[in-house]
Structure 1
Amino acid sequence: MTSAYARLADLVAAHGAAALVRVASVQGSAPREAGAAMAVRPDGAFHGTIGGGELEWRALAEARAALAEGRGRLRRLDMQLGPDLGQCCGGRAIVTVETFDARDLADLRTMAEAAAEGVPLAARMDEDGRVARAPTSPRRGGGPREARTGGDEGRHHSPPPVGPAGRRPPLRGGIETLGDALTWLEETAPRPTPLLLFGAGHVGRALVLALAPLPFRVRWIDGRADAFPAHVPANATAVHTDEPGLEIAQAPPGAFVLVMTHSHPLDLALTAGALARADLPHVGLIGSATKRARFEKRFREVGLDEARINDLVCPIGLPGIGDKDPAIIAAATAAQLLQARERALAAAPPMPVAGPSAS
């Protein structure tokens, strides 16, 4: 998925300026979640959406006005969707508008690199009323480590101030005031879920294409050097290896696994290896209920935990879709993976807030 910062960098490089429209916070029902963003060109063309309707229309008008005035302070729109906008959602949304020009291009590219890695940003309001951001280095536990620095204007890359007892801003709960600065953590893009996909056959190829615009980082593995197409989507890495089992052993905790190779014995070995790791929350295997029954018998023979055997997703894909066309299997499987991702995120530690939302 292309992040808003990557879009902004491209627009500034091509048009000299661009605006970032972001949903900073939401109370109640709203068209989009906090963090949803749009990149806006000086001529009013845009990429992305904050939900459409009157909310988006007014935010775009504000972005065009800000771009017409030139690079300036952050603007903040606080709107009640029912009374102010006549939208039936009925909630409250705070939307921010920031403008950028060629002076910000290096910073935007740094932010785009952070977004590609799923790295949050340490952000603060600077003395000019603009947002200064620095990529953070993730550490175990989900909090920020030290911010990376660089660039020509150090204050735009400086890490935010640290409060009493070395406190950093919280991962949720809005903005925390530390000293004289508003400081928060900001997600750059949906954090991609790592996915190990074993098999580059017809369904594997269709699935990689289905996952291309979705928040997954795909490691696509096959032992046949000529199995992969000449080009793969940007979020996928083709891996030719004679030792696919090592990929299971080296997978990061939280990775998803899908097994659909050309070999049933290989399917069995890879699936057993994945189920043996309790920290891999989603293990899927292509095949019928008969194949599952046969594999379950073998899993019990080798002593796999019964609960993990029951966790196996086989057949794959949303129930009720019986068509065997590879593209349809891929669509049903991609939707199932999104459901599994939602469950995994719900069980994960809180994520960084989107931006300045204090009244």
Structure 2
Amino acid sequence: MSQVSWIQQLALLEQQGEECILVTVLEHKGSVPRDAGTKMIVTRHELYATIGGGHLEHLATKMAREMLMSLGHGENKTHVERFNLGARLGQCCGGMATLSFEPIGFNQHHLVLLGAGHVAKALVNIVQTLPFKITWIDEREAEFPEYLPSNVRKLISDDPVGELKHMPRNSYYLVMTHNHQLDFDLAREILIQDTFCYFGMIGSQTKRKKFDLRLAHRGFQLETIEKMQCPIGIAMIKGKHPAEIAVSVAGELIAHYQGEILEQKRPMKNHELAG
């Protein structure tokens, strides 16, 4: 547990672009571990300051981390809950504490970018200027630029599919690796988890049709497969240069978080998948 004040730590987390839950003792009655106004910061992996320890703090930490995994853009509402510090909580204080759980840093979307090829590099240059935090995953360390913006975290992994289970709920996913089989494995895992806000994959109509058929043969239903955007990008923006593709894809991401309904670019029907 850090000895830095919660105010300093909150400022540091904001600078790093890391979401957290600010837990505050709003009011107390009787004997409680900490008085009203006491604060604690909970991130996915760390705990800063304290509201007194014991089972109350343990339970509050657990609740805060569950919030971190479930909250997304536009859902950052403060939650208030009252706790009776009796035998049920395993504490002998006997008082009552009301805690608030305030999400901090959820003004950005989280993009999981899989693949570090030419289009991905061009895309990062654009998306890093938008309200996104980016987790950029590839197996090849040499493919990443030497310098990355502060809101971009590179993740070098021999198991990109396995990394997906560590990503926050309601993330945006873009799959554009150098390997079609890896693309398919990632698509299958993303659709199985089904916790994404947006899922797009770079590719042609031919690639889309092949992937649709493979997914259908593995038991995926049409309504699930349709959640995958492929091809990606705004149709009116033509061109094959990485920068042109990147602008097109960035436009689609912007349209999505602004609430626009995205065009479904795949006209396949149930009977086509079954065939």
- Return the alpha-carbon distance in structure 2 between the equivalents of residues 288 and 332 of structure 1: 14
Matched, 1:289 2:213: no
Q: Distance in 1 between matches of 2:20 and 2:129?
A: 19
For residues 127 and 115 of structure 2, what CA distance do their matches in structure 1 show? 15
Q: 2:90 — aligned with what? A: none
Structure (1/2) with the larger helix percentage: 2
Q: Is the 8 A contact 1:254 1:281 kept in 2?
A: yes
Counterpart mapping for 1:124-135 below 5 A: none
CA RMSD of aligned residues (A): 3.3
Instruction: List gaps (5 residues or longer) in structure 1.
Output: 1-105, 124-131, 147-164, 172-184, 345-359
Mapping of residues 254-273 of structure 1, within 5 Å: 254-273=170-189
**Residue 214 of structure 1, aligned match among 126, 130, 142:** 130
Q: Which one-letter code corresponds to 1:196 in the other structure?
A: V
Tell me the equivalent position of 1:234: 150
> 2 CA distance for matches of 1:288 and 1:256?
20
Separation of aligned partners in 1, 2:169 and 2:252: 20
Aligned counterpart, 1:224: 140
Name 1:118's counterpart in structure 2: 19
1:308 matched to which residue of 2? 224
Deviation at 1:133, TM superposition (A): 10
Q: Normalising by structure 1, what TM-score?
A: 0.49
In structure 2, what residue type is equivalent to 1:331? V
Task: Using the TM superposition, give the Cα deviation of residue 340 of structure 1 relative to its aligned residue in structure 2, in angstroms.
Answer: 2.8
- Does the CA-based 8 Å contact 1:114-1:120 persist in structure 2? no
1:56 — aligned with what?
Answer: none
Q: SS of the residue aligned with 2:110?
A: strand
Deviations 1:156-177 (A, max 9, x none): xxxxxxxxx75556x9xxxxxx
TM-score by length of 2: 0.62
Q: Secondary structure at the match of 2:257?
A: helix
* Structure 1 segment 19-34 matched on structure 2, within 5 A: none
Are positions 1:248 and 2:164 aligned together? yes
Native 8 Å contact 1:114 1:188 kept in 2:
no
CA deviation after TM superposition for structure 1 residue 305, in Å: 2.5
Provide the rounded CA distance (Å) in 2 between the counterparts of 1:120 and 1:328.
39
Measured against aligned partners, the alpha-carbon deviations of 1:58-78 in whole angstroms (never above 9, x if no partner) come to: xxxxxxxxxxxxxxxxxxxxx
CA contact (8 A) 2:80 2:99 kept: no
* Offset of residue 292 of structure 1: 0.7
1:341 positional shift: 3.2
Please say if residues 257 and 280 of structure 1, whose CA atoms lie closer than 8 Å, have aligned partners that are also in contact: yes
CA contact (8 A) 1:118 1:192 kept: no
Please tell me the residue identity of whatever aligns with 2:12: E
In 2, Cα distance between equivalents of 1:213 and 1:166? 42
Distance 1:268 1:188, change over 3 A: closer
Q: 1:107 to 1:272 in 2, by over 3 A?
A: closer
Q: Return 275-284 or 335-344, whichever deviates more.
A: 335-344
Q: Please tell me whether residue 280 in structure 1 is matched to residue 196 in structure 2.
A: yes
State percent identity of aligned pairs: 32
Change over 3 Å in CA distance of 1:284–1:226 after alignment to 2: same
* In 1, Cα distance between equivalents of 2:174 and 2:145: 19
1:287 Cα deviation after fit: 0.9
Q: 2:120 aligns with which of 181, 190, 204?
A: 204
Q: Is the 8 A contact 1:118 1:191 kept in 2?
A: no
Superimposed CA distance per residue, residues 176-207 of structure 1 (whole angstroms, 9 cap, x where no aligned partner)? xxxxxxxxx6x755533222211111101011
From 45, 49, 66, the equivalent of 1:140 is 66
- 2: distance between equivalents of 1:258 and 1:283? 6
The DSSP-based 3-state class of the residue aligned with 1:299 is helix
C-alpha separation in 1, matches of 2:106 and 2:148: 21
